[in-house]
Amino acid sequence: MEFAEFADRVAEIEAESADLGTVTLLASLFADAGTDLETVVRFVQGRVFPAWDSTTLDIGPRLCHEAIARAAGPNVSADDVEDKLAELGEIGAVAASYDFGGQRGLAAFGSGGQDGLTVAELDSKLRDLAAVSGSGSEDTKLKILYGLFNRTDPDEARYLARLVLSEMRIGVGEGSVRDAIAEAFLVEPEDAAAIRDDDADDETVDDARERRDRHIETVARALQVSNDYGMVAALARDEGEDGLDSVHLEVGRPIQAMLAQAGTAADALESWETVGVETKFDGARVQVHRDESNSVSLFSRNMEDVTGALPEIVEYVESAVGSPAILDGEVVALDDDGEPLPFQEILKRFRRKHDVAKMRDEIRVELRAFDCLHAKGEDLLDEPLSVRHEYLSEVLGEDSDAVSDLLLSDDAEEIAAYEADALEAGHEGIMLKNPEAAYSPGDRGKNWLKRKPDVETLDLVVTGAEWGEGRRAKFLGTFLLSARTDDDYETIGKVATGITDEEIADLTELLEPEIERESGQEVDIRPSVVFEVGYEEIQESPTYSSGYALRFPRFISVREDKTSETADSLERVERLAESQ
Ligand SMILES: Nc1ncnc2c1ncn2[C@@H]1O[C@H](COP(=O)(O)OP(=O)(O)OP(=O)(O)O)[C@@H](O)[C@H]1O
């Protein structure tokens, strides 16, 4: 498929406001994608690599602006691109506003657009770009990117810019892609037509919906297990339901973590006969994969590969686990007496790429595993927690410190005593789990409840900042925070309190490459870094676009284990505001 056609079709999808219409357009794009299907499915989500793959293009706004400026000609600088961004509001519109002399230009000179980019070529070039590393890599990336922009017409440039910055923003969520895969390759055309036909009788529509929903369910399961939308689309097309049913967990390919809601022991006892009670460890989530040849990989809750940062966990798993397995758990930091250290300490180790050996001496970390997703050649997602926990004990050894205890109880007092002990021992709280429940990846359902006595904090995305004054003029000081919505961010407050001088320098280093635009002291920042902030109260307020403001916000830490996509949503802010 020509990238120009992709851009046309995506523009049509962007202009469609109805969800059902979006799914239909997506389904027809997928059906027409031929050998490019996997790439097209990823591109519409703003991805080059599957969700489980932590490879990134590593292109910041600055590099992208520079590439656009070069392609736009000698009279345009990266600063001009930034100014235009301030005016137009998003990078796609900026890229589309220049004439890079792509297809249209060439056609005008009679070359007939032979130099047009195809989806496959673009994919391969972007993969080359992602593989560039070492000294001079910025320049090489710039050259590749500039070369690509140079070959685009305005419509293509719009989506190329958004793609390389992973912000397609065409109103296509994961649910739409899932439904479109089902519609393109599994749902009977008569059923799809009946669902859309306003005049069809209720029974026909209900039956058609039921059949469609079963197909969607099959696609959803394959997606949960593989985290690879492209592969699942290709399987649905080439091998149908049977192909999708045959998708299994693969050791080395991370899946999304199951998540928890806040809840109490009373909630748990009301919902389930017996409650599974565990310590809530104050560490960082980790998924442990041990393959056939005893090679171990570790992944964060964002499915990022953190193996290199945690050598002692790798060594422990190598020695303790005798066969292929996938475990879920928490990495905790401990002091010399084996007492838990606060969450901030583990963050100094997690995702670290430099000085790993030095930090290993300074901060001791250990694994606390609480779930087993694959062992003895079996996928265990559909097994109840109580059974998965038995597998876990078998894999790591019944008495291992690395296995989190699972207390099964129906007694409120016993649970309260367990909670008191956990807090006394310096843990964050307890988890209350339905022992009969399956493991549902990515799901924040009611089967796992978290109970911690501390006041809630918010994990908010940094979308802006201000340069400081005087002594702090070289540093970013006040940070604008936003809550996530479906495909955007709404501001909710600024934080400047609780940050030490040392942290200010670190935060500046972290955020400076993400600056999209500057005007005076104020800067816009690409949503990517997440701050955990405390506050006294959430108030309704017209000052910020979310309609809320935080009273006395204070910085707690950078949530290095979260991304702008897993930060707190505006919905959560609304719920917290209601419940205070
Ligand atoms: N025994 C346990 N079972 C499950 N999760 C646990 C356990 N102990 C600690 N955790 C951690 O608790 C997290 C869930 O609660 P918490 O509110 O602390 O996390 P969060 O990252 O701030 O929010 P959330 O995960 O709900 O988005 C899990 O993702 C996991 O990292």
Domain ranges of the chain: 46-164, 261-451, 458-579
Q: Which CATH class is domain 261-451?
A: alpha beta
For residue 105, pLDDT over 80 is answered with no
For residue 111, pLDDT over 70 is answered with no
Ligand 1 centre distance from Cα of residue 259 (Å): 7
Q: Whose CA is nearest to atom 14 of ligand 1?
A: 260
Residue 109 or residue 416, greater confidence? 416
The predicted structure's pLDDT at residue 77: 94
Digit-coded pLDDT (tens) for 131-151: 998 888 999 999 999 999 999
Please give the annotated binding residues for ATP, written as ranges. Answer: 278, 285, 301, 330, 370, 444, 450
Q: What is the pTM of this model?
A: 0.82
The H-assigned helical ranges of 255-411 are 265-271, 311-320, 343-347, 356-362, 385-396
Q: Mean pLDDT for the chain?
A: 92
Distance CA(326)–CA(303), nearest Å, equals 13
The predicted structure's pLDDT at residue 342: 84
Distance CA(168)–CA(48), nearest Å, equals 12
Distance CA(507)–CA(171), nearest Å, equals 31
The predicted structure's pLDDT at residue 332: 95
- What the block records as the tokens of 323 is 């066969």
Please give the annotated binding residues, written as ranges. Answer: 278, 285, 301, 330, 370, 444, 450
Q: Indicate the pairing of strand 325-334 with strand 284-290.
A: antiparallel
Distance CA(415)–CA(116), nearest Å, equals 65
- In ligand 1, the atom with minimum distance to the C-alpha of 278 is 1
Q: What angle do CA 299, 301, 306 make, to 5 degrees?
A: 30
Ligand 1: which residues within 6 Å by Cβ? 257, 259-260, 278-281, 285, 301, 330, 370, 404, 431, 450
Ligand 1 centre distance from Cα of residue 519 (Å): 39
Distance CA(298)–CA(314), nearest Å, equals 8
The predicted structure's pLDDT at residue 102: 59
Read off the pLDDT band of 103 (50, 70, 90).
Answer: low
Min mean pLDDT across 57-71, 269-283, 344-358, 528-542 is at: 344-358
Please tell me the number of Cα atoms within 13 Å of 369 on its side-chain side.
Answer: 32
Using CB atoms within 10 A of its CB, is residue 420 exposed (0-12), middle (13-18) or buried (19+)?
Answer: exposed
For residue 66, pLDDT over 60 is answered with yes
Ligand 1 centre distance from Cα of residue 216 (Å): 29
User: According to the CATH classification, is domain 458-579 in 2.40.50.140?
Assistant: yes
Residue 580 or residue 14, greater confidence? 14
Q: Whose CA is nearest to atom 25 of ligand 1?
A: 259
Q: Mean of the pLDDT values across residues 174-181?
A: 96
For residue 29, pLDDT over 50 is answered with yes
For residue 63, pLDDT over 80 is answered with yes
The predicted structure's pLDDT at residue 435: 98
CATH H superfamily, domain 46-164: DNA ligase, ATP-dependent, N-terminal domain (1.10.3260.10)
3-state secondary structure 89-110: CCHHHHHHCCCCCCHHHHHHCC
The predicted structure's pLDDT at residue 106: 47
Dihedral of the CA atoms 146, 147, 148, 152 (nearest 10)?
90
